[in-house]
Structure 1
Amino acid sequence: MVMKGEMKMNYQFLNVSIENKIAIITLNRGPVNAVSQEMYKEIKEVFTSLGKNKNEANVAILTAEGKVFCAGNDLHEFVSMTPENGVDRMMEVREAFWAIYDCDIPVIAAVNGAALGTGFALAASCDVIIASENAKFALPEINVGVLGGAKFGARIVPEMVMRRMYFTGEAVSVQEISKYGAITEITPQEDLLRVSLKWAQKIASKSPNAIRMARKSLNGCEYMDLKSGYEFEQQFTCELSGFEESKEAVRAVIEKRKPVFKTI
Structure 2
Amino acid sequence: MSETFETLTLEVADHVATVTLNRPPVNAQNAAFREEIVRVFDMLHDREDVRAVVLTGAGKAFSAGADLKERPNIAGIAGAYPAHNRRVRASFDCIMECGKPVIAAVNGAAIGAGCVLALSCDIILVAEEAYLSMTEVDVGLAGGVRHVLRHFGQSDARLMIYTARRMTGPELLRMNVASLCLPRAELLAAAQGIGREIAGKVPLAVQAAKRSFQVTEYMPLNDGYKFEQSQTVALASTEDTQEAWRAFAEKRRPVFKGR
TM-score range, shorter chain: over 0.9
Matched residue, 1:43: 37
1:115 correspondence with 2:113? no
1:171 Cα deviation after fit: 1.0
Q: Once the two structures are aligned, what percentage of the paired residues are identical? A: 36
Moved over 4 A (4+): none
Matched residue, 1:254: 249
Write the distance in 2 (CA, Å) between the matches of 1:179 and 1:49: 35
Write the distance in 2 (CA, Å) between the matches of 1:42 and 1:78: 19
Write the distance in 1 (CA, Å) between the matches of 2:194 and 2:46: 21
Write the distance in 2 (CA, Å) between the matches of 1:178 and 1:117: 19
Matches for 1:209-228 after TM superposition, within 5 Å = 209-228=204-223
Q: Which runs of 5+ in 2 are unaligned?
A: none
1:253 Cα deviation after fit: 2.7
Say which of 185, 190, 199 aligns to 1:190: 185
* TM-score, length of structure 2 as denominator length: 0.95
Write the distance in 1 (CA, Å) between the matches of 2:115 and 2:139: 16
Write the distance in 2 (CA, Å) between the matches of 1:235 and 1:141: 41
- Of 242-251 and 30-39, deviating more is 242-251
Which SS does the other structure have where 1:29 is aligned? coil
Write the distance in 1 (CA, Å) between the matches of 2:26 and 2:85: 21
Matched residue, 1:134: 129
Say which of 11, 14, 26 aligns to 1:20: 14
1:66 correspondence with 2:59? yes
Write the distance in 2 (CA, Å) between the matches of 1:160 and 1:258: 46
Q: Which runs of 5+ in 1 are unaligned?
A: none
Write the distance in 2 (CA, Å) between the matches of 1:108 and 1:164: 25
Aligned length: 257
Which SS does the other structure have where 2:95 is aligned? helix
1:127 Cα deviation after fit: 0.5
Write the distance in 2 (CA, Å) between the matches of 1:263 and 1:137: 36
Matched residue, 2:24: 30
**AA aligned opposite 1:162:** A
* TM-score, length of structure 1 as denominator length: 0.93
1:241 correspondence with 2:236? yes
- Per-residue CA shift, 1:86-107, capped at 9, x if unaligned? 1110100001100000001010
Matched residue, 1:146: 141
Matched residue, 1:201: 196
**AA aligned opposite 2:7:** F
Say which of 163, 166, 174 aligns to 2:161: 166
**AA aligned opposite 1:177:** L
- Of 182-191 and 252-261, deviating more is 252-261
RMSD: 1.4
